[in-house]
Amino acid sequence: MLNKKIKAFTLAEMLVALALTSIMVVFSYMGLSQLNKLLVQYRDQNIFITELNELNKRTSFLFNEANSIQKISETELIFTTDSAESKLVVDPSFILTVKNNKTDTFKLENKGLKIVNEEIASEASISLIKKLEVDIYFGKQKFHLIFIKNYDAFSKLKIETANVSN
């Protein structure tokens, strides 16, 4: 009865199995880490696109609804409608829209703000904003936004007479 052989794994087989298992765990961890980095990048890109679309929508609305757009400083614009005024502030690290005492902040890195004026010939020498261009950056990508305001003759006359009477 003492000569009965017990079936079991040898020490060498156990070490090989342990080595193979540890290699599989290391590769699984590296894959999981890479997947986590991709998901974080995807989330950041999704937030950027959402903010960019919302900024584009709101600024287009401001440009279309405004009777006049005037430049306050190098980075601030005032949009005047019949009933209210709105403000757009463009800082290199963010863009603000202020409407009815509600401020929306868009954390978008931007450069190259370009404002094109349209002069109204009058005694007050009024300067209205005709075109706004800004480059918005996300990583190495650049998005070029252009907003154009076309003033009709009636609007120009209304603005001119309002400023002359003031």
- Per the model's pLDDT, the better-predicted residue between 15 and 113 turns out to be 15
Give the mean pLDDT of 64-85: 87
Predicted confidence at residue 153, as pLDDT, reads 73
Cα-trace Rg, the chain:
31
**Which runs of E-coded beta strand occur in the chain?**
68-71, 76-80, 85-91, 94-99, 102-106, 109-120, 126-138, 141-148
Predicted confidence at residue 31, as pLDDT, reads 95
Report whether pLDDT(166) > 80: no
Report whether pLDDT(123) > 70: no
Q: Alpha-carbon distance 23 to 101, whole Å?
A: 60
The structure's pTM equals: 0.74
| Average pLDDT value for the chain | 87
Predicted confidence at residue 125, as pLDDT, reads 59
Residue 91: exposure state from Cβ atoms within 10 A (0-12, 13-18, ≥19): middle
Q: Alpha-carbon distance 46 to 42, whole Å?
A: 6
- Read off the pLDDT of residues 18-63 as tens digits, 9 standing for 90 and up: 999 999 999 999 999 999 999 999 999 999 999 999 999 999 998 8
Is the Cβ–Cβ distance between 115 and 127 less than 8 Å? no
Predicted confidence at residue 70, as pLDDT, reads 85
- Read off the pLDDT of residues 152-164 as tens digits, 9 standing for 90 and up: 777 777 766 666 5
Give the mean pLDDT of 67-93: 89
